[in-house]
């Protein structure tokens, strides 16, 4: 649950204009946070930021460009004074059979989901270790695919497994700077990108089946919970999913 201690704290949410990022930005704004929402398209970012009035800031950002990421953090610090939270959420999914996966698409997914997440994490470290009081929190969006693949998802799954490595190493390296790093793994939240889950998606046995979904606002509440903890406590890994979606066991 949100507490008054969240009021005035500063968050950056990448991929904040739509879907999971927007839901999490709105949850943080609703709890009193000041939130910079980042993404490629300024219009949806502005729409999200307006929900927070003066506590919202829209910053057009390309996470695959280190200079753009540095500018995002600079704009946030200039506007709000510091950064207490990074929700490292921006991501890209392309579905193709492994043998047909193009090198161009492989590089696009890796550049966004792995390189982009590292650029944001690195910049968060630089800001959080130098501010006063020192420290902050980083939450990486891992996905259920950080644990188990879907058919024809080799690039997405590989990068999400790599995010787990980023999370574990950054959690270790962040200790000396009072930076807590955790990961949220999300399964089947209702967004425009995930809507196809409710109508039918390929299963491991080759069948096409609809899968249960959860409202995306539940993910927002999960991120808010992780973000609201004092820095001496950390949720290293948190999985939130539709109770009956295929994941545990054999489906």
Q: What positions carry a catalytic annotation?
A: 156
Determine the Cα angle at 40 with ends 151 and 8, to 5°.
Answer: 105
Q: Which residue is associated with the tokens 């999914």?
A: 93
Per the structure block, which two tokens stand in for 92?
């890209």
Residue 189: both structure tokens together: 């939240």
What strands lie across the sheet with 179-187, from one edge to the other?
56-60, 34-39, 10-14, 85-88, 136-141, 179-187, 237-241
How does DSSP assign 12-42, residue by residue? EEETTTSHHHHHHHHHHHHTT-EEEEEES-H
Is residue 3 within 8 Å of residue 200, measured between CB atoms?
A: no
Task: List the structure tokens of 225.
Answer: 């919970």
**Cis amide prior to 246 (ω within 30 degrees):** no
Up-side HSE of residue 114: CA atoms within 13 Å toward CB?
A: 17
In angstroms, the first-to-last Cα distance of the chain is 32
């Amino acid at each position: 649950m949100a507490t008054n201690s969240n009021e005035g704290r500063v968050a950056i949410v990448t991929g904040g204009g739509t879907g999971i990022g927007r839901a999490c930005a709105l949850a943080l704004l609703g709890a009193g946070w000041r939130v910079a929402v980042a993404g490629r398209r300024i219009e949806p970012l502005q729409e999200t930021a307006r929900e927070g009035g003066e506590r919202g800031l829209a910053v057009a950002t390309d996470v695959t460009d280190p200079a753009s990421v540095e500018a995002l953090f600079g704009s946030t610090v200039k506007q709000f004074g510091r950064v207490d939270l990074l929700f490292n959420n921006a991501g890209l999914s392309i579905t193709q059979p492994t043998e047909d996966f193009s090198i161009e698409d492989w590089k696009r997914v890796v550049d966004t989901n792995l390189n982009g997440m590292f650029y944001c994490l690195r910049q968060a470290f630089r800001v959080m270790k130098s501010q006063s009081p020192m420290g902050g929190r980083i939450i990486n969006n891992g996905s259920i695919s950080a644990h188990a693949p879907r058919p024809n998802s080799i690039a997405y799954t590989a990068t999400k497994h790599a995010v787990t490595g980023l999370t574990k190493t950054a959690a270790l390296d962040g200790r000396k700077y009072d930076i807590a790093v955790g990961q949220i793994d999300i399964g089947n939240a209702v967004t425009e990108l995930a809507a196809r889950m409710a109508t039918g998606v390929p299963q491991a046995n080759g069948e096409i089946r609809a899968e249960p979904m959860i409202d995306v606002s539940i993910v927002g509440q999960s991120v808010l919970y992780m973000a609201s903890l004092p820095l001496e406590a950390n949720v290293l890994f948190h999985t939130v999913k539709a109770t009956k979606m295929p994941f545990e066991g054999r489906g």
